[in-house]
Amino acid sequence: MNNQKPLLNQRALITGAGQGIGRAIAVKLAEMGAKILVNDINEKSSLETIQEIKNKGGFALFSQFSVADYDQVQEKVKGLIKELGGIEILVNNAGINRDQILARMSPEQWQEVISVNLNGAFNCARAVIRAMVKEHYGRIINISSVVAHLGRIGQANYSASKAGIEGLTRSLALELASFGITVNAVAPGLIETEMTQALPEAQLQEIISRIPVGRAGKPEEVAELVGFLALPKSGYITGQVIHLNGGLYLS
């Protein structure tokens, strides 16, 4: 293994990689030597991610599909596997929120979040598993949230989707352990992303006041943890949910 590029020539599919945490993960894994498959529905932001990777000497391709569309995911990912010869790393990062208290939440607001956040993780995992089993190796990393554990007013749909992600993580870890495939989840707290920047300032400061380290996290900090879990030497870690929230979960 190349110590400078420990993921050299491995192929990594990162969903929702057009911005925020997904972009930071894509850039980090590229720096570690992986060939990056950037997925997002936003072509413009995805191409910006790809350009950042290429500017640093990395390899990246864009694959536009909705993770919520099972048939589209299977078709696109099958094509990527055929083109590149496999996918060793999957990061299920794509996620949305449609905040509303449950008494006013529409079935569409509920289903849209579940379809992208939870069904999307299933769809993508389903698409890569056969290739990973064939190689007897793989790393699947799902992005959850501290909200799966704490709950939050107006986010019943989001909380449920992320709690589901963690259940999926544990069950899939058991199913795939004997094939050299690890499955873990990372549960970030408040991270400086486009999604959190849309919060009202008063709400943002209220959350920060409850974080023991006194600040929001950075996407790059999430990416560092994902990079560690993606390493070949992380093969004894599986079925875990690792929290990254500055102590918010303890407060």
Which residue in 137, 158, 236, 249 is the catalytic one?
A: 158
Quote the CA–CA distance of 187 and 184 in Å, as a whole number: 10
CB 143 within 8 A of CB 118: no
> Is 153 in contact with 196 (CB distance < 8 Å)?
no
Q: What are phi and psi of 8, to 5 degrees?
A: -50, 125
Q: H-helix or E-strand containing 160?
A: helix 156-176
Spatial distance between the Cα atoms of 49 and 184, rounded to a whole number of angstroms: 24
Phi then psi for residue 166, to 5 deg, are: -70, -35
Q: Does residue 249 carry a catalytic annotation?
A: no
By annotation, the residues acting in catalysis are: 158
